[in-house]
Amino acid sequence: MRTTQFAMSLLLLLTLTACPGSKDDGVDPDSLGDPGSVSLIFPENNSECTEGAVVDELQSAVTFQWEASESADYYEVNLKNLIDGSTRLTEAGNNESTITLASNTPYEWFVVSKSNASDMALKSATWKFYNAGAGVVNYAPFPAEAEYPERGGSIPATTKVSLQWQASDVDDDIVDFEVFFGTETTPSILLGTTGQTTMETDVVSGRTYYWQVKTKDSEGNTSQSEVFNFKVG
């Protein structure tokens, strides 16, 4: 009897460990980074950065920090201004770098570990933060990011698609989203307004569609996402 119970327990254990966890399904690769990449430390993800040294009324200097890698000879700090889409790259010889940024502006950043002895280029997770501005007590939401369909991707032939996106706000006071959709590269047709991060729409196979999300918070602050596109097979 004990042998039978042990065998059943072992079979159950093997079954559980063999099944993929549903929580890992559809995880955004940017939220994890490459295996072996460095872990980011500061500025923290989805946070308000208030520790920058004031340079002038429009700028502050922020010290970026991440865990050091034994296999890296230097690092590349990649920054993107989430308002105008501009990017910049800064090299660092150790695990921190002080960079002057525009105040009252949202950014995303990641670090690439580089080696002089190989082609190693391990990309960290991508984090977002709001570089604080003087006198600002409530910040605009971060621009929404497409989840499905993926930007520039293709989906199987269908007559309907459920647009899905991610949204976050330092103040956690998002109230709704306006979704613009169409076949023009700059979509101007308002598909609708919703408090959810998904909206269904009709599509036609063989066409390419473009969509954009405007996020609004309780103080009336808004942010506009990039224009996303996808093709229906």
The better pLDDT of the pair 139, 155 is held by 155
Closest CA to 138 of 215, 220, 197, 81: 220
Q: Is the pLDDT of residue 86 over 90?
A: yes
| Pairing of β 47-49 and β 127-131 | parallel
Tokens of 71: 């296999």
For residues 103 and 59, what is the distance between their CA atoms, to the nearest angstrom?
Answer: 5
Tens of pLDDT, residue by residue over 180-211, are 999 999 999 999 999 999 999 999 999 999 99
Q: Is the pLDDT of residue 125 over 50?
A: yes
Instruction: Please name the residues in contact with 191: beta carbons below 8 A apart, sequence gap of 6 or more.
Output: 179, 180, 181, 199, 201, 211
For residues 136 and 68, what is the distance between their CA atoms, to the nearest angstrom?
Answer: 34
Whether the CB-CB separation of 182 and 189 falls below 8 Å is answered with: yes
Quick one: average pLDDT of 129-146?
87
Q: Is the pLDDT of residue 60 over 90?
A: yes
Half-sphere exposure of 230 (CA within 13 A, CB side): 24
Confidence (pLDDT) at 32: 65
For residues 224 and 82, what is the distance between their CA atoms, to the nearest angstrom?
Answer: 9
Instruction: Please name the residues in contact with 209: beta carbons below 8 A apart, sequence gap of 6 or more.
Output: 181, 182, 183, 203, 229, 230, 231, 232
Confidence (pLDDT) at 153: 96
pTM: 0.74
Quick one: average pLDDT of 43-56?
92
Question: Dihedral through CA 75, CA 76, CA 81, CA 86, nearest 10?
Answer: 170
